[in-house]
Structure 1
Amino acid sequence: MDEPGTDDSAAPPAVDGMDPVRVHAALALLTDGWRTRAELVRGTAAPRRSIEALLRTVPVERSGDRYRLPPTAGLSALLAAHPSVPADPVGHLLPAHAAAVERLADLIARAPRGRRALDHVSATPETVVRRALFLGARFWLPGSHLLCVGDHDLTSLAVGLIHPHVRTTVVDIDDRILAYIDAEAAKLGLDVRTRWADLRLGLPPSARDHDLAITDPPYTPDGVGLFVARAVEGLRDPATGRVLLAYGAGDLTPALALKVQNALSELNLLSEAIYPDFNRYFGAEAIGSAADLYVLRPTTKTLPAAVARADRFAAAIYTHGPQSIEATAAPDPGPVADLDPDVLVGPWPKDVLPNVPRVRLATWLGKPYAATVRRAAIALPPGLEPALVRVLLATRAERVRVFTTADIAEPAEILAPVYELTARGTHVDAVRRAPSGTLARTLLDRAHGKAANAWRDALTRQGLTKREARGEVARIAPWTQDATVLELPAHRLKSIT
Structure 2
Amino acid sequence: MNGIEELLRHAGVDGRRLRTALALLGDGRWWTLADLVRETATSRRAIEALLRETEAEAGLERSGDRFRLREPLPGLSAAPHGPADPVAHLLSGHTELLARMEELVAEAPRGRQALDHVAATAETVVRRALLLDARFWLPGARILCVGDHDLTSLATALLRPDAEVAVVDVDERILAYIAGQAERLGVQVRTRWADLRLGLPASVQGWADLAVTDPPYTPEGIGLFAARAAEGIADREHGRILLAYGAGERTPALALKVQQALSALNLVSEAIYPDFNRYHGAEAIGSAADLYVLRPTTKTWPAVAARVDGLGAAIYTHGPQSVESRPADVAPDLTADGPAGFSPAVLVGEWPRDTLPRIPRARLSTWLAKPYAADPAEVAVAVPAGMESALPRLLLATRARRVRAWTAAPAEDPPAGPLSCVYELTVTGRTVDAVRRPLPGSAQERVLRRILDNAHGKLANTWREALIRERGDLTKKQAKAVVAEAAPWSADVTVLELPACRLAGLPAAVAASLAAPAADGPQR
Q: Which TM class, normalised by the smaller chain length?
A: over 0.9
The TM-score normalised by the length of structure 2 is 0.90
Deviation at 1:312, TM superposition (A): 2.7
Q: Does structure 1 retain, via aligned residues, the 8 Å contact 2:330–2:384? A: no
2:42 to 32, 39, 46: 46
The TM-score normalised by the length of structure 1 is 0.95
Secondary structure at the counterpart of residue 413 of structure 1: coil
Q: Does structure 2 retain, via aligned residues, the 8 Å contact 1:400–1:431? A: yes
After TM superposition, list the pairs within 5 Å mapping 1:335-484 onto structure 2. 336=334, 337-338=338-339, 339-411=342-414, 412-436=416-440, 438-461=446-469, 462-463=471-472, 464-484=474-494
Structure 2 partner of 1:26: 21
1:327 to 321, 325, 328: 325
What CA distance in whole angstroms lies between the structure 1 residues aligned with 2:20 and 2:332? Answer: 58
Q: Does structure 2 retain, via aligned residues, the 8 Å contact 1:323–1:382? A: yes
What CA distance in whole angstroms lies between the structure 1 residues aligned with 2:323 and 2:275? Answer: 26
Secondary structure at the counterpart of residue 167 of structure 2: strand
Is 1:107 the counterpart of 2:101 in the alignment? no
**What's the C-alpha RMSD, in Å, of the aligned pairs?**
1.6
Identical aligned residues as a percent: 62
Deviation at 1:458, TM superposition (A): 1.7
Q: Does structure 2 retain, via aligned residues, the 8 Å contact 1:331–1:403? A: no
Runs of 4+ in 1 over 6 A off after TM superposition: none
Q: Which amino acid aligns with 2:410?
A: D
Q: Which amino acid aligns with 2:203?
A: S
Q: What whole-Å deviation, never above 9, does each CA across 1:342-399 have from its counterpart, x for those lacking one?
A: 0100011111111111111111100000012001000111211000000000011111
- Once the two structures are overlaid, the 10-residue window that deviates more, 148-157 or 422-431, is 422-431
Q: Does structure 2 retain, via aligned residues, the 8 Å contact 1:423–1:429? A: yes
Deviation at 1:311, TM superposition (A): 2.5
After TM superposition, list the pairs within 5 Å mapping 1:188-267 onto structure 2. 188-208=185-205, 209-267=207-265
Q: Which amino acid aligns with 1:14?
A: L
Deviation at 1:15, TM superposition (A): 7.1
Q: What whole-Å deviation, never above 9, does each CA across 1:228-284 have from its counterpart, x for those lacking one?
A: 000000000222100000100110211111110010010001000000000000011
Q: Which amino acid aligns with 1:49?
A: R
Secondary structure at the counterpart of residue 242 of structure 2: strand
After TM superposition, list the pairs within 5 Å mapping 1:49-64 onto structure 2. 49-58=45-54, 59=58, 60-64=60-64
Secondary structure at the counterpart of residue 275 of structure 2: strand
Q: Does structure 1 retain, via aligned residues, the 8 Å contact 2:333–2:355? A: no
What CA distance in whole angstroms lies between the structure 1 residues aligned with 2:10 and 2:198? Answer: 43
Q: Does structure 1 retain, via aligned residues, the 8 Å contact 2:417–2:503? A: no
Q: What whole-Å deviation, never above 9, does each CA across 1:412-441 have from its counterpart, x for those lacking one?
A: 233100000111111201101011252221
Tell me how many residue pairs correspond in the alignment. Answer: 485
Q: Does structure 2 retain, via aligned residues, the 8 Å contact 1:15–1:57? A: no
Query: Where in structure 1 are there 5+ consecutive unaligned residues?
Result: 1-9
What CA distance in whole angstroms lies between the structure 1 residues aligned with 2:64 and 2:434? Answer: 56
Deviation at 1:331, TM superposition (A): 3.4
Deviation at 1:93, TM superposition (A): 0.1
- Once the two structures are overlaid, the 10-residue window that deviates more, 52-61 or 176-185, is 52-61
After TM superposition, list the pairs within 5 Å mapping 1:282-297 onto structure 2. 282-297=280-295
Structure 2 partner of 1:35: 31
Q: Which amino acid aligns with 1:61?
A: E
Q: Which amino acid aligns with 1:93?
A: L
Query: Where in structure 2 are there 5+ consecutive unaligned residues?
Result: 508-524
Q: Which amino acid aligns with 2:180?
A: A
Secondary structure at the counterpart of residue 225 of structure 1: helix
What CA distance in whole angstroms lies between the structure 1 residues aligned with 2:81 and 2:124? Answer: 21
Secondary structure at the counterpart of residue 173 of structure 2: helix
Q: Which amino acid aligns with 1:349?
A: P
